[in-house]
Amino acid sequence: MEVQEFFELTKHAFNKEAVHVHHYKKGEYLFTKGHEIEEMYFLLEGELAIEKNKQLIWIAKKNEFIGICSYFIGENNFAYSAKANFDSKIITIEKKEFDRVVQDNSDLRNDLMQLFCQRIDYTLSNIKVFSDLSRKKRIIDFLVRNIESNQKVINQNYELHYSSTQIAEFVHIPKYFTLKFLKELQAKNILKLSSKNITITDFKGLKLLLTLKGVNL
């Protein structure tokens, strides 16, 4: 069954009749800021960019709930937009069913509240990054954050499935500048560029760049 993994992860708390599967193509929006909250979302496969006012807030990975920040704040409408970075498989849960489970299942409610707090912390941290870091360090910070959040390790290298254009859009830096800086990192043997992927070959060196001060960064 397509959604069996979801039911196992949530300890079969939700009624099957209220759970539905949807497929979104790369670049397609699940919802946009201001959209009425009629259902909650769970990312079964793929990756989502969560945005607010054209700024990337975070990147949602597999097995994440989407919409819980707006839900727990008590909003009737989503405070941000969610877009598929890649082709993604999404589970939606009818809001009435989600309300019921949150009220009746204390274990799941506590897990969701913990996730909600983590989202708030991450958002505040992300805002600080955008205000405090130079453009080059914002690119480095984006790479480091993604590596540290469950990326594939291949022969001690870290593979990120993003193009330079996608990274530029995520961190809101001009595409030409992003590509130029990534090529500089490639020349230093910190990473390898391809048309659709970036392979980090020296993660320690990449993290070290975040600590450096000076006009070059």
- List, for residues 134-193, the tens digit of each pLDDT value: 889 889 988 998 888 755 555 578 888 888 988 888 888 899 999 999 999 999 999 999
Three-state SS string over the chain comes to: CCCHHHHHHCCCCCCHHHEEEEEECCCCEEECCCCECCEEEEEEECCEEEEECCEEEEEECCCEEECHHHHHHCCCECCCEEEECCCEEEEEEEHHHHHHHHHHCHHHHHHHHHHHHHHHHHHHHHHHHHHHCCHHHHHHHHHHHHHCCCCEEECCEEEECCCHHHHHHHHCCCHHHHHHHHHHHHHCCCEEECCCCEEECCHHHHHHHHHCCCCCC
Question: Residue 33 and residue 26: Cα distance in Å, rounded?
Answer: 18
Place of tokens 């390898």: 192
CB atoms within 10 A of CB 78: 23
Architecture of the domain whose range is 4-130: Sandwich (2.60)
Higher pLDDT, 41 or 120: 41
What tokens does 19 get? Answer: 């759970």
199 bridge partner residues: 159, 192
**Residue that the structure tokens 């983590």 belong to:** 118
Edge-to-edge strands, sheet with 39-45: 19-24, 88-94, 39-45, 64-66
Q: What is the mean pLDDT of residues 91-119?
A: 88
Question: How far apart are the C-alpha atoms of 60 and 181, rounded to whole Å?
Answer: 25
56 or 68, greater pLDDT: 68
Work out the percent of the chain whose per-residue pLDDT is above 70. 88
With b meaning 16 or more CB within 10 Å and e meaning fewer, what string describes 138-159?
bbbbbbbebbeeebeeeeeebb
Rounded mean pLDDT, 124-132: 60
Domain ranges of the chain: 4-130, 133-211
Does the domain formed by 133-211 have CATH 3.40.630.30?
Answer: no
Q: What is the pLDDT of residue 146?
A: 83
